[in-house]
Structure 1
């Protein structure tokens, strides 16, 4: 037998059923419910017992809230939805108590592996293991403060590492933090924003001498032919690694002996004449389709980093041995600096060099002042030699020395 529903005109849409035995004071306990219509759809449900604190007024207030949510299109419209949203809110709060390390390993890392290179992932994991975890020590992300980040920076520097390393470590923290912020685990800007790193000077000051460059080419060639071709191309064009590894046959003009770099740092294509040693290599290679890569590794794939053959040659030649300052280390990018330095030494005018290397300003040429000075000294020496003799062949001792002839 179905229980009978009761209601009053005072609170439309509110009704209740009486418990057959259980009392609430002098009355039988009442179980309140509600119902209402909106745009042809009925909404109804149970709310609770009078012994649990429900009343006609309270039931009416809750019904009006559900009706308003239905009209607005958001918010709970029933006790079931309200309970579910409450559970989700509790879970969301619990998720906000997640530690940085746990979030990195369980949330950030699986997603990052789908879009980042393996060596990048290894570097980020190393920064977490060596610098971030020891300082944060399981602290919830939303409790991390700028002071915590400052301690991380100081820990890096206290171990004798450079400001650049500290910058890289904090960059990993910021990446993970922003990843969490997009997923509403944290709500504020990264605390790294409050940290001053200081001015970093990572300008490389060392280039290869011509004889060193030649020795490097010979050594690389003995290790890996593909690495040799890429190294030679870098030396004879001054192009960046990424510009060469993305070079396709459509950018090679064998007839005109020219190369057009399309994927440049500035985004502006850069056309370069082809030196004979590079021309000899390219004309003997099997030219592929226009979209095929010119320089590939042993698997026929694009180089993702400096070739092993190049790196091994640097070790074999001991170019970096005994040098503690990494700015003095020879790396693949040093080939670009070497090319610029040699051009400067040869007396090529600065505007031509600027155009060749794709520099938007002449500021980059400041690091090659030593080469410019050598060129100027050679020019002055030649001038001195030319002016040191008269047409008769007799030596003139001008204002630098003693007396003049004649």
Structure 2
């Protein structure tokens, strides 16, 4: 029995010779079957384009999977793909079901913005930081990939590239944590089988940055603040130095939370997640008191009047101008908090005092200033040493200092501390 014209052994010449489907035909495509590979079909449309399909039955249901268009997909490639699909069916797997499952997996961009971010906004106070990291770093790299296409290697290369570009280890670690958190959520919600970001080690961080304004720098910085044209930004920067507050805390400060009469500023939600009270010195109270209230806006440092009840953006441009005017480099807004702590310790505050002033939930964070306290104690100890030396051998001490007793008893000499 000779094969029907619709059934023949596929080869390149035979497929090329197939005519377009007749426009008078009821079906839009003509279907041809390969006698060498059961289930392999070639469909020809009215424009003459030819497509390979694999037709099969799974659990008494007829299914079809598109393999590719001829000639980009050759007859040999189509048959090889059919054999792979038949092997899946023999193992009880429905190839079309697996394909649909893969096609239903969203891209990283879609999952991050439409699934993760709405969730983060309800459970995280720092969700705005997540959105910024997504827009500036993660989506440009992974946004076009489906979730299952992201590999451990691609994440590690992304982090290593960030280091090459000069990102700080702490910044890279925040990006690592975010992508790990997003993909972990995708696993929990059934979009992924495993999290490719799991087990990627953190970069070594050095959080003990010691940069303080002191001496002539402090004087130059203050003079530059006085000369700054943007007075709102200048007051904001000055308050960072006078209170030791975090940038975010001061940006979110509201008039009802500042009591300039009693010198108390209430921070409703600090970094530790708790309310804290900031004790204001006289200078800080004066700066807070001169901030003009904008009708309808509760923020001490309001933003553009175009947006209702908006806060000011971090005054980075004004800060850069102040640094240039003062001739100061390598200084961040957060370093003003460190400078406040340094000045407090130098004025005699204990580490416990500094912990309370800065709102540290643990004394471990305050230990970075312990060397400053040590220097102050060494100065006090040297004062005691000088006093003892004068009693024991005043000539030696006075000769080294160029001073004279002129008949004053040793114990009457005042030692400056």
Common fold, TM-score beyond 0.5? yes
User: May I ask how many residue pairs the two structures share in their alignment?
Assistant: 301
Task: Name which structure has the greater RCO, CA cutoff 8 Å, separation 6+.
Answer: 1
The residue that corresponds to 1:124 in the other structure is: 134
The reply to whether residue 225 of structure 1 matches residue 227 of structure 2 is: no
CA distance in 2, matches of 1:336, 1:89: 56
Contact 2:249 2:270 in 1 (8 A): yes
What whole-Å deviation, never above 9, does each CA across 1:28-78 have from its counterpart, x for those lacking one? xxxxxxxxxxxxxxxxxxxxxxxx99xxxx89xxxxxxxxxxxxxxxxxxx
1:388 is paired with a residue whose SS is helix
Unpaired stretches in structure 1, ≥5 consecutive residues:
1-51, 60-85, 321-328
CA contact (8 A) 1:260 1:271 kept: yes
Q: Secondary structure at the match of 2:197?
A: helix
Is 2:112 the partner of 1:108?
yes
Instruction: Give, in angstroms, the shift of residue 140 of structure 1.
Output: 5.1
Any idea what SS the aligned residue of 1:389 has?
helix
Q: Distance in 2 between matches of 1:129 and 1:255?
A: 48
Structure-2 residue corresponding to 1:331: 332
- 1:313 deviates by 2.1
TM-score scaled by structure 1? 0.60
Partner of 2:345: 344
SS in structure 2 of the partner of residue 279 of structure 1:
helix
Residue aligning to 2:389: 388
> Displacement, 1:186?
2.2
What residue number does 1:308 align with?
Answer: 317
Is the contact between residue 279 and residue 357 of structure 2 (CA under 8 Å) also seen in structure 1?
A: no
Any residues of structure 2 matched to 1:95-244 within 5 Å, and which?
Answer: 95-96=104-105, 103-109=107-113, 121=131, 123-128=133-138, 132=141, 141-157=147-163, 162-178=168-184, 180-181=186-187, 184-188=190-194, 190-221=195-226, 222-244=228-250
Partner of 1:360: 361
Deviations 1:362-381 (A, max 9, x none): 22232113322331232123
Q: Distance in 2 between matches of 1:160 and 1:266?
A: 29
CA distance in 2, matches of 1:165, 1:250: 34
1:280 aligned partner = 286
Indicate the SS of the match to 2:277.
strand
Q: Which residue of 1 aligns with 2:298?
A: 292
- Cα separation, 1, equivalents of 2:139 and 2:291: 45
In structure 1, how many angstroms separate the alpha carbons of the residues matched to 2:235 and 2:188?
44
Query: Matched residue of 2:237: which SS?
Result: helix
- Tell me how large the CA RMSD over aligned residues is: 4.2
The offset of 1:385, in angstroms, is: 3.3
Taking structure 1 as reference, are residues 200 and 139 closer, same or farther at Cα in structure 2, changes over 3 Å only?
same
Q: CA, structure 1 residues 303+203, in 2 after alignment: closer, same or farther (shift >3 Å)? A: farther
After superposition, give the CA deviation of every residue in 1:160-200 in whole Å (9 maximum; x if it has no partner): 65533432443453355356446643232x21112112432
Corresponding residue for 2:44? Answer: none
Q: Deviations over 1:10-40 (max 9, x none)?
A: xxxxxxxxxxxxxxxxxxxxxxxxxxxxxxx
Normalising by structure 2, we get a TM-score of 0.59
Give me the whole-angstrom Cα distance separating, in 1, the residues matched to 2:363 and 2:112. 41
- Whether the aligned pair in 2 keeps the contact of 1:227 and 1:297 (CA below 8 Å) is no
What is the DSSP-based 3-state SS (H/G/I as helix, E as strand, rest coil) of the residue aligned with 1:247? Answer: coil
CA distance in 2, matches of 1:208, 1:90: 61
State the secondary structure of the residue aligned to 2:395: coil
**Rounded Cα–Cα distance in structure 2 between residues aligned with 1:184 and 1:208:** 52
Determine helix, strand or coil for the equivalent of 1:331: coil
Farther-moved stretch of structure 1 (217-226 vs 145-154): 145-154
Counterpart residue number, 1:245: 251
Q: Aligned partners of 1:297, 1:173: CA distance in 2, in Å?
A: 31
Provide the rounded CA distance (Å) in 1 between the counterparts of 2:114 and 2:325. Answer: 38
Determine helix, strand or coil for the equivalent of 2:298: coil
Partners of 1:271 and 1:290 lie apart in 2 by 25
User: What CA distance in whole angstroms lies between the structure 2 residues aligned with 1:298 and 1:307?
Assistant: 16
Alignment match of 1:265 (pick from 260, 271, 285): 271
